[in-house]
Amino acid sequence: MRVLLISPNRLRLVAPPLPLGLAGVAADVKLEHETQVLDLMFAEDPEAAVRQTVQEFKPDFICLSLRNIDNQDSRHSQTYFPEVKKLIRLIRDLTPAPVLVGGSGFSIMPRQLMAYLGADFGLIGEGEVNLRTFLRNWPGGGWRHCPGLIKQRDGAWQINPVRLLDSLVGLPSPALELFNPRLYHEAQGTAKLPGMIPVQSRRGCPMGCIYCTTPLLEGRRVRAWPPETVAARLAAWHEKWGLTRFYFVDSIFNHPLDYARRLCQAIKDLHLPLEWSCIINPAFPDPQLFQLIREAGGVRVQVGNESGSELVLRHLVKGFGLEQVKQTLNFLAAADLPYTCFLLLGGPGETPDSVQESVALLEAHKPLMVNLTVGVRIYPGLPLHRRALDEGLVQPGDELLWPRFYLAPQMRDWIWGYLEEVTERNPHWIF
């Protein structure tokens, strides 16, 4: 079967992200099918590129990966799924091939997006193995039992139970050769810096943050590739394409701690001129790991602190407290490891005092950059959604496909002017 995989994402915030998830799916699908990827990130005329590819490749099946739903910006909200709907309409005019949609963005709101997009099928969760299972049984009847499949039946959306992979070990290496990794490596985004190639070493997040979709997408049990496998991937990509800059997309790089240490050592043992960054969770501060990150080529880390207020951290159920945040920042400074921070402002329990407390904390520690977000995106089924329902901020019938944000009442008129003052005296802070 000829399978066309399309990445419609053209968003270049900070840096253009190579579609790592789709690269993993492509590597798995091409084990059994003739596979082609159409990446629209750098296409001068996306519509023309779709027309040409469909006409020349003549796919039997088309799969689209929806990475982002919106920009999660309460002040200047932008949605991306309308462009995917236009793309599906174009495909309908070009070919009778069925259209399946998947990806992390899609998996957050599958029913709402299926109703809006008009695709034939959707696939929720991890696409590797599951998509190949679906395609292997197409067009016979076995495809109907594919884990995570969403389809319409008798006028309603039917979703098969989602099944996460028990292990990542048997998955093939992401098929970067079907994309243009050198272009992603050099292309600039809004940060005006050279790009970084995404790499994943593990999936799953044990934390209980009330607003976060990662446990929904990856589960709470951490599954990982052997550290040596991940390091070997970096070495192979460096040898094949000269790639030197990488970004670990793992939701928490420093958990499990022993795994993180072994991964850093494996990268260090490559003795290659690699530079990389990752996300650190303050729940697991460790000075030895931070030192090892720097020795292994880590050039900066992102600290997922979200707040500098004990009260707000507790309301967000972050799983760590203010002292752990301070300890993490102090350990990073002692290891001479540059870091950036996040402030997610306006959530439950937030007040002007707590905002100023958070700002004062980070001004004292002086991170490279602080990314400021006002308002917390509400996703269906998460604890924040239930709280918003209880407080009357959203109604039971609200689908939430179009962005809705939790913003504490005291914040709505005050915070914008205050943050203008903050960013004026801290030009490396952005919002």
CA distance 6 to 25: 11
Q: Quick one: pLDDT at residue 15?
A: 79
Cα(first)–Cα(last) distance of the chain, in Å? 46
Residues 6+ apart with CB under 8 A from 180: 39, 42
Q: Quick one: pLDDT at residue 188?
A: 77
Phi-psi region of 106 (alpha: psi -120 to 50; beta: other; left: phi over 0): alpha
CA distance 223 to 356: 38
- What three-state secondary structure class fits 406? strand
Q: Quick one: pLDDT at residue 154?
A: 82
Half-sphere exposure at residue 170, Cβ-oriented, CA atoms within 13 angstroms: 6
Number of other residues whose CB lies within 10 A of the CB of residue 175: 19
Tokens describing residue 418: 């205050």
Give residue-wise pLDDT tens across range 190-210.
666 789 999 999 999 999 999
Tokens describing residue 222: 């951490």
Strand ranges inside 99-155, DSSP E: 99-102, 121-123, 149-153
Q: Which domains does the chain have, with CATH numbers?
A: 2-159 (3.40.50.280), 196-430 (3.20.20.70)
Q: Quick one: pLDDT at residue 427?
A: 95
Give me the amino acid identity at 33. H
Whether omega before 172 lies within 30 degrees of 0, making that bond cis, reads: no
Residues 6+ apart with CB under 8 A from 169: 225, 226, 229
Q: Full-prediction pTM beyond 0.85? A: yes
16 near 184, Cβ under 8 Å?
A: yes
Give residue-wise pLDDT tens across range 226-268.
999 999 999 999 999 999 999 999 999 999 999 999 999 999 9
Which residues of the chain are under the pLDDT cut of 70?
190-192
Beta bridge partners of 37: 5
CA distance 172 to 15: 26
Number of other residues whose CB lies within 10 A of the CB of residue 222: 17
212 near 193, Cβ under 8 Å?
A: no
Tell me the angle at which helices 352-365 and 322-334 cross, rounded to the nearest 10 degrees: 20
Tokens describing residue 330: 């102090």
Closest CA to 74 of 345, 334, 272, 282: 345
Cross-sheet strand order for the sheet of 121-123 = 34-39, 2-7, 61-65, 99-102, 121-123, 149-153, 156-159
For the chain, how many helices (H) and strands (E)?
Answer: 16, 18
Give me the amino acid identity at 260. A
